[in-house]
Amino acid sequence: MPWLHCLRGVVSRELLRFLHQRSRFLAALVRPLVWLFVFAAGFRMALGVAMTEPYQTYILYEVYIVPGLVGMIQLFNGMQSSLSMVYDREMGSMRVLLVSPFPRWYLLVCKLLASTLVSVVQVYVFLAIAWWYGIQAPPLGYLWILPTLVVTGFMVGSLGLLLSTFVRQLENFAGIMNFVIFPMFFLSSALYPLWRIREGSYLVYQIAALNPFTQAVEMIRFALYERVNLEAILISVVVTLVLLGLAILGYNPSRGMMARKGGGGD
């Protein structure tokens, strides 16, 4: 019961913070919706797709890009949650959490679970808007993607946690986020299929193929249409475990980056 009470407290705090920060929720939706409504329409015109039925189901580019935009939501949310970790560390509330009798790995997993739940809510709101717009996946696909959303949320959240161990000030973390988010997103299959990237640049194709975010997007893309990409699932799970292990090590006051910077949890 104490472990569940701790989990409930951490998750509740993160959800309340999310509810109070409405601008964060709107910002998380504006980015993918701009790509969905504006850029996708431009691509359709470039591809010569007829615009006589703008709300038809399974329009070529929109159908492909939706899973990539789902990954975008989770990527930005994972970095945003890690930004809050740096803020909590500056304000001192992180120290209160980490000096509790619970293991640090458990506390960090609770934080990741809370941020993942927030991203899942954002994803389903986005998918509901896409459904209204006319981009509709099979009904069961919306259930199939739930496990993949959890894995992706933990993966990008663990990456954000790992980055937060290297940053002491809030201002510095914002710059690091830009150096991580945009290369991860644009050098992936979120916007274009890998075969199309290969036709344009083999070097970019190799980078995108090695990008773990590509595997996460492919895992979501297959699941949304009731298919299983076993290779993408295995790679995503392994990368998640590695990043989570490094993040937990980084928050260890005796061995991680926190010890080198002279702070146990502040």
| pLDDT tens-digit map of 70-112 | 999 999 888 877 777 766 666 656 666 666 677 778 888 888 8
User: Mean pLDDT, to the nearest integer, of 206-212?
Assistant: 92
162-171, pLDDT tens digit by residue? 887 777 666 6
Residue type, 79: M
User: Mean pLDDT, to the nearest integer, of 36-47?
Assistant: 63
Phi-psi domain of 227 (left: phi exceeds 0; alpha: psi -120 through 50; beta: other):
beta
> In the predicted model, is pLDDT for residue 241 greater than 90?
yes
Among candidates 15, 22, 250, which has minimal Cα distance to 115? 15
User: Mean pLDDT, to the nearest integer, of 175-180?
Assistant: 75
What backbone torsions phi and psi does residue 58 show, to the nearest 5 degrees?
Answer: 60, 45
> In the predicted model, is pLDDT for residue 60 greater than 50?
yes
Among candidates 157, 63, 163, 171, which has minimal Cα distance to 115? 157
- In the prediction, which pLDDT does 42 show? 59
More confident residue, 5 or 234: 234
Q: Which of the residue ranges 138-142, 154-158, 199-203 would you say has the lowest mean pLDDT? A: 199-203
Determine the Cα–Cα distance for residues 74 and 70; give it in Å rounded to an integer: 7
Please state, as a whole number, how many other Cβ atoms lie within 10 Å of the Cβ of residue 157. Answer: 33
CA 146 to chain centre: 13
Determine the Cα–Cα distance for residues 134 and 259; give it in Å rounded to an integer: 52
Give this prediction's pTM: 0.82
- In the prediction, which pLDDT does 77 show? 84
Please say whether the beta carbons of 233 and 149 come within 8 A. Answer: no
Please say whether the beta carbons of 238 and 167 come within 8 A. Answer: no
Please say whether the beta carbons of 65 and 36 come within 8 A. Answer: yes
Determine the Cα–Cα distance for residues 25 and 73; give it in Å rounded to an integer: 10
- In the prediction, which pLDDT does 99 show? 67
User: Mean pLDDT, to the nearest integer, of 223-240?
Assistant: 92
- In the prediction, which pLDDT does 66 show? 87
The total number of residues shown for the chain amounts to 266
Residues 6+ apart with CB under 8 A from 239: 155, 212, 215
* Average pLDDT score, the chain: 78
- In the prediction, which pLDDT does 54 show? 45
More confident residue, 248 or 230: 230
Among candidates 243, 60, 52, which has minimal Cα distance to 159? 243
Residue 236 — very low, low, confident or very high, per pLDDT cuts 50/70/90?
A: very high
Among candidates 182, 191, 184, 230, which has minimal Cα distance to 210? 184
- In the prediction, which pLDDT does 140 show? 92
> In the predicted model, is pLDDT for residue 148 greater than 90?
yes
In a 3-state reduction of DSSP, which class is residue 182? helix
H helix runs in the chain, sequence order = 2-20, 22-34, 40-47, 60-91, 93-98, 104-133, 141-164, 170-186, 194-200, 202-210, 212-224, 230-250, 257-260
> In the predicted model, is pLDDT for residue 15 greater than 80?
no
Taking the CA atoms of residue 36, residue 191, residue 148 and residue 10 in that order, the dihedral angle to the nearest 10 degrees is -70
> In the predicted model, is pLDDT for residue 245 greater than 70?
yes
Range of 10-14, 22-26, 40-44, 261-265 with top mean pLDDT? 10-14
